[in-house]
Structure 1
Amino acid sequence: MKSNRITNLGAATLENYVETRRQLLRQADELTVRIARMEPIRTMDEMNALLDLDRDRGLVMEMIASCSYVIEWLETGRRPGNRRGIERRSGAQREVPTDPARLPSASLWERAEAERPSDEAERFRLEAALRGLTERERSCYTLARGETFSHSEIAAMLNISKSSVGTYIIRAQRKVDGNIGSIHILVG
């Protein structure tokens, strides 16, 4: 009858996994040496003992592989073997579904023009945010952000490629972000 020994390995920390793997590597080496000493095999009992040792060594090697997997996961903070982390998802994978009922019914740009900022400071902020955009950047940006047209629709309207539309929108967004951060209204 074979008895199983239960060992308390402590908390599941990186240091404990490294130490456990070290002990398992020693155990695997000991089993390999014991197997090598049994050569040559002359009886069926020796063959069964050798097979038992080889099976034990296989289990220890699987445990070493599992410890290595966990160690890599704890060190990197990512599941080992993943080619793409969550921060590197494609555009379709990052897409957030939106309830159509929550979308604006009229275009944002039309509403902005209809409401016309009555306050001089608001109009100044809008003009300052769009300051420095080229005509093409302004067209692409307002069609995409203000009127919510897709890149392919904008490309068809302006007779340019979809990739160019994307490039113009990115450039415009960078300029707008920079302009918004530098808007200062002096009251006096």
Structure 2
Amino acid sequence: MKRELNAYRQVEDLGPATLEVYIETRRGLLLAADKLTRRMRELEPIRTVEEMDLILQLDRDRKLIVEMISDCSYVIEWLETGRRPGNRRGIERRAAYQREIPTDPARLPAVAYRDADPEEPPEADSEIKHLRLMAALRGLTDRERECFSLAHGQGCSYSEIAGLLHLSKSSVGTYVVRAQRKIAANVGSVVVLVG
């Protein structure tokens, strides 16, 4: 009986850890678990204490092999999909703070504005426009700022923005139009700088 138990406990070098090796290992483990199950069924009408011990040992070995099969299946799924099994959110679906796209306001197109004092030098005029644009951007909601920056600062199409922010194209259009209206209204108003 000891010889029979040792026949099931073999240690093998499985080679490199590749998907094919894991699949082949799982296949071998499934066959080993099947052999143990069949052997346990052959010993079913238990007559002696030694047979009972053998069946209990075979059952423990089968449970260990089933755990190994589960581990191999886990690794196979990870290697096939490229992501950890059981994760609820993959890397392609990020949280809101991870989707932020920093944009330099200087790259935004200039808004038509002709309410400046004609006696001011052009450098001061552009500095005032820049400050007013910055203030106008601060007056937007996060979504409006994201959509406006991507549409006008990065030159993305509405469908590209919709894909990036997981919105519909019509929602992106709505956010961009709202942002344009708010910026047009805020750039024309007086900027009060505090601090």
Query: How many aligned positions are there?
Result: 131
SS in 2 for 1:167: helix
Report the TM-score when normalising by structure 1.
Answer: 0.57
Give the one of 35, 39, 61 matched to 1:30.
35
Alignment partner for residue 66 of structure 1, among 71, 82, 89?
71
* One-letter code aligned to 1:173: L
Distance 2:32 2:131 in 1: 68
Instruction: In structure 1, list runs of 5 or more residues that go unmatched.
Output: 97-107, 113-124, 133-141, 156-161, 180-188
Offset, 1:149: 6.4
Residues 27, 143 of structure 1: alpha-carbon distance in 2 compared, 3 angstrom cutoff: farther
- For residues 33 and 167 of structure 1, do their structure 2 counterparts lie closer, same or farther at Cα, with a shift above 3 Å needed? same
Distance apart, 1:49 and its partner CA: 0.6
CA contact (8 A) 1:28 1:60 kept: yes
- The CA deviation at 1:18 is 0.3
Question: Tell me, which stretches of 5 or more residues in structure 2 are unaligned?
Answer: 113-129, 157-195
CA contact (8 A) 1:143 1:149 kept: no
Letter in 2 for 1:70: V
Kindly tell me: are residues 144 and 74 of structure 1, through their superposed partners in 2, closer, same or farther at Cα, counting changes over 3 Å?
farther
2:165 aligned partner = none
Select the residue among 135, 146, 159 that pairs with 2:134.
146
- Map 1:39-188 onto structure 2 (within 5 A): 39-92=44-97, 94=98, 129-130=109-110, 146-147=134-135, 154=139, 162=141, 166-167=143-144, 169-178=146-155
1:15 corresponds to which of 3, 16, 20: 20
Q: How much identity, in percent, do the aligned residues show?
A: 48
For residues 61 and 11 of structure 2, what CA distance do their matches in structure 1 show?
16
- Partner SS for 2:92: helix
- Give the TM-score normalised by the residue count of structure 2: 0.55
Distance 1:39 1:131 in 2: 87
For 1:20, what is the secondary structure of its paired residue? helix
In structure 2, the partner of 1:121 is none
1:55, distance to aligned residue in structure 2 (A) = 0.3
User: RCO higher in 1 or 2 (8 Å CA, sep ≥ 6)?
Assistant: 2
